[in-house]
Amino acid sequence: MRITGVLLTIGTTGVAGMALVGGVDAPGNCASAIASSSVAPLAKFSVGFSLVYHYIGAVRHVVWDKTAKGFTNAQMLQSSYAVAGAALAISLHSGIWLHSKDKPAEFVEISEQVDSSIYVSDIDDSDKA
């Protein structure tokens, strides 16, 4: 699934370009607009799936490096299906859980307390000498 890497690269480059051209608030404003639109679940799943897929693929490479096993065509094909299936399952589970109304009270309480408007530039470090 090379397309996931290509899309992550395009997305990262787009966010960086947006920040360069539109200022540091532009990516956050764009993300807020997408999050409040009807495409939010698809956008979140797309980014989440791509990241999880590549993370699990990296773990597979570490296993290959450490064990030097699984290099036949059949084993590689089988592990590729396992990586894709695991990424799909984790992404779907995360997406469903994040949209469910039955979240643990601790999660809801903590997520409501997060203030995303705090930036590193807002931190006063003048007392550090």
Cα dihedral 34, 35, 37, 38, rounded to 10, equals 110
48-93 tens-digit pLDDT: 999 999 999 999 999 999 998 988 999 999 999 999 999 999 998 8
C-beta atoms surrounding 28 within 10 Å: 16
46-59 tens-digit pLDDT: 889 999 999 999 99
* Confidence band of 41 (pLDDT split at 50, 70, 90): confident
**What backbone torsions phi and psi does residue 26 show, to the nearest 5 degrees?**
-60, -45
Q: For tokens 């890497």, name the residue.
A: 5
Kindly give, in sequence order, each residue whose CB lies less than 8 Å from that of residue 63, ignoring residues fewer than 6 positions away: 70
- Closest listed residue to residue 46, CA positions, set 58, 34, 63: 34
Alpha carbons 125 and 129: distance in angstroms, whole number: 9
Contact assessment for residue 46 and residue 94, using Cβ atoms and an 8 Å cutoff: no
Average pLDDT, the chain: 82
